[in-house]
Structure 1
Amino acid sequence: MSTVEAIAHPIAEDIAAAIVEVKQPGREPAELPRAAAKALARKIDGYLESPELFDVVKTVLYASHLLETEAGAPRAAKAVLDLVERGPVLKALRRHKAERSAADTDAAG
C-alpha cells in the first residue's frame, strides 16, 4: 500500500498527481506548480458546502506533512497547506463545526 492509498480522502490522489518531481541540484525535490495549485483549490472549493470538507482538510494537512518530512520539500508542503488556509475554507470549516455542535446539542437535549 502506498502512502497515498493510506490517506483517507481521494483528494490525496489529486495532490499526488499535481506534485512535480524536480531533479535539479540545489532545488527541492518536489514542487506544486501554480496552475496545479489553482486546480486543487477549485476542487477543494467543491467541498465547501459538504461536511466531507473535514476529511479533505485532514488529508491535505497529512499530504503537506509528508511533503515536508518524507520528501524534504518544505516549499511544496507550504503550497499544499496554503490550499486549506484560505478564507473560504476556514469559514466553511467554522460553519460546519457550528452545525455539528448544534446537532450534538439537539441530540443530547
Structure 2
Amino acid sequence: MGVLCHCTECRKMTSSAFSTNVVIPVSEYTIHGSPKNYTFTRGDEKHITSFCGECGTTISKIVEGIDKFKGLVVVQAGTLNEGEGLDNLKVDTELYVKNRADWVKQIDGATQVDTA
C-alpha cells in the first residue's frame, strides 16, 4: 500500500512537503546493517523511526498506538531497490491532509484522511 503523509514530523524528517511510504507487514521486512533509531510521541502514538547511521537517510517507521498500523512497517519508498519503490507505487491513501502544503495537489483516487 502506498501512503503519502503530510504530518509535520514526516515533513521535517524528509525535508520535503510530505513523505512517500510503502506500508508492508513486519514479517516481510528485512533491513541490512545497523540502523539507528529516533522515537517521538504524538498523543498516544509512538513512532520508532530507523535511519542509516552512516548517511542519516530515514529508512522506516514502526507506529505503536494506532490499531491500523499494528504488525506493519512504514518504509520510505525512496530507499527500496529499483522496481520495488517509486516506479511501481500506487498511492492509496494520504494522511494528515489538513497539513498538506497549499501547492501540493491531492492524488486522484487516494483516500484523504485528516489524521492517521
Q: TM-score, normalised by structure 2?
A: 0.22
Q: Which has the higher helix share?
A: 1
**The structure with more radius of gyration:** 1
Q: Which has the higher strand share?
A: 2
